[in-house]
């Protein structure tokens, strides 16, 4: 049984929901999983785990700066063990941008960090205009208009392929 440290960085909570789903799948497969928000992870937890999973959301085309700094600061430890990384973004709702080798955000981040996790994943997120503040709602509506996505301000739509999430979780168990 592996000791898996599962770290997540979320903006609106959907990355946490995906992470919790994966945690359940991994625990049902007999893995021991500790799920923590990025800001609660310490060096001891990182060094003591057998495997590491990092999940992160995108907002306005970028991962959170704290996530980038965390990976950069701990790269040697991260690279010393099997690791998995996934990103959650609305661009991944498009068939041509839903894989690690076609999603611009994961490609950019991994290039920036010169990091190649053992396993990489991309999942489409959730669009919930009513949850956003005025500025975010209108900025995201504009981005959706440009990318031919939903712009109705009452939209609350989950684009996540949950079977793909389960498959990724099972793949983590095999690392």
Region(s) of the chain under CATH 3.40.50.360: 3-125+160-174
| Spatial distance between the Cα atoms of 165 and 151, rounded to a whole number of angstroms | 26
Assess contact for 51 and 34: CB atoms under 8 A.
no
Q: How far is CA 87 from CA 59, 105, 154, in A?
A: 11, 8, 25
User: Does residue 1 carry a pLDDT above 70?
Assistant: no
CATH number of 3-125+160-174: 3.40.50.360
Q: What is the pLDDT of residues 80-96, one digit of tens each?
A: 999 999 999 999 999 99
Q: How many CA atoms lie within 13 A of 102 on its CB side?
A: 11
> Residue 127's pLDDT band (boundaries 50, 70, 90)?
very high
| Spatial distance between the Cα atoms of 78 and 76, rounded to a whole number of angstroms | 5
Of the candidates 101, 123, 105, the one whose C-alpha atom is nearest the C-alpha of residue 63 is 105
> Residue 61's pLDDT band (boundaries 50, 70, 90)?
confident
Tell me which DSSP letter residue 125 carries. -
User: Does residue 60 carry a pLDDT above 90?
Assistant: no
> Residue 116's pLDDT band (boundaries 50, 70, 90)?
very high
User: Does residue 109 carry a pLDDT above 80?
Assistant: yes
For the segment 100-124, the average pLDDT, to the nearest whole number, is 95
- pTM, full prediction: 0.92
Assess contact for 5 and 41: CB atoms under 8 A.
yes
User: Does residue 2 carry a pLDDT above 80?
Assistant: no
Q: How far is CA 89 from CA 15, 40, 41, 120, 169, in A?
A: 9, 23, 23, 14, 18
């Amino acid at each position: 049984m592996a000791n898996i440290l599962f770290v997540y960085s979320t903006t609106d909570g959907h990355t946490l929901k995906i992470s919790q789903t994966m945690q359940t799948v991994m625990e049902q497969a007999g893995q021991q999983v500790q799920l923590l928000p990025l800001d609660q992870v310490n060096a001891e937890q990182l060094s003591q785990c057998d495997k590491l999973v990092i999940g992160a959301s995108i907002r306005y085309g970028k991962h959170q700066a704290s996530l980038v700094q965390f990976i950069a600061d701990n790269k040697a430890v991260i690279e010393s063990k099997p690791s998995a990384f996934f990103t959650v973004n609305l661009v991944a709702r498009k068939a041509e941008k839903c894989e690690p080798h076609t999603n611009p955000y994961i490609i950019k981040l991994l290039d920036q960090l010169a990091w190649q996790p053992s396993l990489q994943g991309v999942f489409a997120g959730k669009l919930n205009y009513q949850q956003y503040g005025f500025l975010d709602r209108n900025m995201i509506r504009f981005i959706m208009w440009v990318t031919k996505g939903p712009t109705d301000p009452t939209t609350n739509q989950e684009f996540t392929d949950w079977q793909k999430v389960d498959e990724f979780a099972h793949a983590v168990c095999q690392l």
